[in-house]
Amino acid sequence: MSHAVPQAAGRQRAAGPGALLAALLVSVGSYALMQTMIVPALPVLTHELHTDTATAGWLITAFMLGSAVLTPVVGSLGDRYGHRRMLLVSLGVFLLSTAGAAFAPGVPFLIVMRALEGVSMATLPLALSIIREAMPADRTAGAFGLTSAMLGGGAGLGLVVGGLLVDAASWRWMFGVEIVLIAFSILLVLAWVPESPRHADKRATTGRLDIPGAVLLAVGLSSLLLAVTQGSAWGWGSARVIGLFVVALALFAALGAVESRHPAPLVDVRLLMHAPMLVTTVATLFVGAIPFLFYVLLPQLLQTPHTSAAPYGHGLTVIEAGLLLLPGALGTMVAGRLGPILGHRLGARAPMIAAMVLMTAGGALQALWHGSVLSIGLVFVLVGLGSGFGFAALASLIAKIVPREDLAAGNSLNTVVRTVGSAIGSQLATVLLQSAVAPGTGLPTESAFTQGFWLAGALGAAGIVLTVALRVHPYQRSAPAPRAVAAVGASAE
């Protein structure tokens, strides 16, 4: 069997599957780095841009909002007009907005650029769709796992690189390094990534674009994420937060009504109610939430000074904490490569079950055993491995459930759900840290960390039960919407 990637309408030299995968990994990696690289720089940005902590926090919130709003739309456009074409568009916008961030004159402009940078999250679903169409069948599963796991590995590396750059140079160098990486990824995509045959010469598509669905989804997701990310700052019982939750629910209800009547919906409601997709979506929330509990809790635990008021603290610097957690982040990539092998041998659910078991064990062991730096680093490796298995499982499950022609849109929505889960996980950790503070110190008590780790373990245990009930079979658009009970009882692929 030939392993050459098909040429795109004769205009592009065929590249091997290794070159194709490398181009996609660099593209997704550029997003993963930018997702977390700014986190260590927040205190520096607060000082140098003469702002406060709450405003600086919007540099993360804006990125998440932009990701949630833009990714489903870009994914849907990729299914219609070409995945390579929209990947290049996404990288182009990412490059311009990152350049704008590097030269930002102040916080408001930087926040806007960060929101536009959120389009980079679309690189993952677009890359997965390109893999499905252009990679040899025997290499597809492994490529899915490795590409998805790049999120965890890149995010962990971003924490370290961001800390090093901020410590040794200006915060603007974070964006400067990212500009070089994005430009390199664009060159690789132009050289090695083909357009799929069904899109290579397509300049138009049948059916109208789902503008009402896009607007409802964008505003609904923005309302939900804004409420989740700002709940701690504004107060969970405040009128603003409650109002945003109510608006989000109302808009999602309207979205369901509108999409059920649209001939080419941005969100296929029947697909979301297809039991395997519904279970996978809930599992996605857990895969997003559990690691972010650790991402918030562990740096705080490691960097808290060891004093009589905080005997649990370890007093590490930002860079030392990042380096300690790096093996766990790299474990994400290792598990992402092993996940497809496990799935091939034991079935489609096996990587997800492994993910939940490892993250459950990580949560319980971290709750019981966080008295030394070594124990924290070792246990976090379990969490990283679990996260990698989860990423690999999600990519494989979506490919088995979602029709090929809607794969980018399906992966985009799944990616957004994981982002929502990440926001929920980080806020749960923040609430725990703020709710248990030692008197007169302003530092969280050790019990706050312990409760957070037990919560991660409990979510993982719930994920085990959920995944064991999962039965995987593809969604058929022409068939009536399957009932959840019947579908859960169907045979696994």
* Residue indicated by tokens 């029947």: 270
| Cα distances (Å, whole numbers) of residue 178 to 173, 182, 214, 325, 472 | 8, 6, 29, 22, 39
Structural domains in the chain plus CATH codes: 13-196 (1.20.1250.20), 211-265 (no CATH), 268-493 (1.20.1250.20)
Q: What integer best gives the mean pLDDT of the chain? A: 87
Residue 478's pLDDT is what?
A: 55
Please report which helix (H) or strand (E) contains residue 370, including its range.
none
For the residues 284-305, what does the mean pLDDT come to?
92
Q: Are 145 and 391 in contact (CB under 8 A)?
A: yes
CA-to-CA distance for 17 and 256, rounded, in angstroms?
A: 39
CA-to-CA distance for 411 and 155, rounded, in angstroms?
A: 19
For the residues 38-47, what does the mean pLDDT come to?
85
Out of 45-59, 229-243, 388-402, which region has the weakest mean confidence (pLDDT)? 45-59
Top mean-pLDDT range of 94-108, 126-140, 295-309, 422-436: 94-108
Higher pLDDT among residues 117 and 55, named by residue: 117
Q: Are 330 and 153 in contact (CB under 8 A)?
A: yes
Residue 207's pLDDT is what?
A: 54
Predicted confidence (pLDDT) per residue in 2-11, tens digit = 444 444 444 4
Which percentage of the chain shows pLDDT scores above 90?
Answer: 51
Residue 219's pLDDT is what?
A: 93
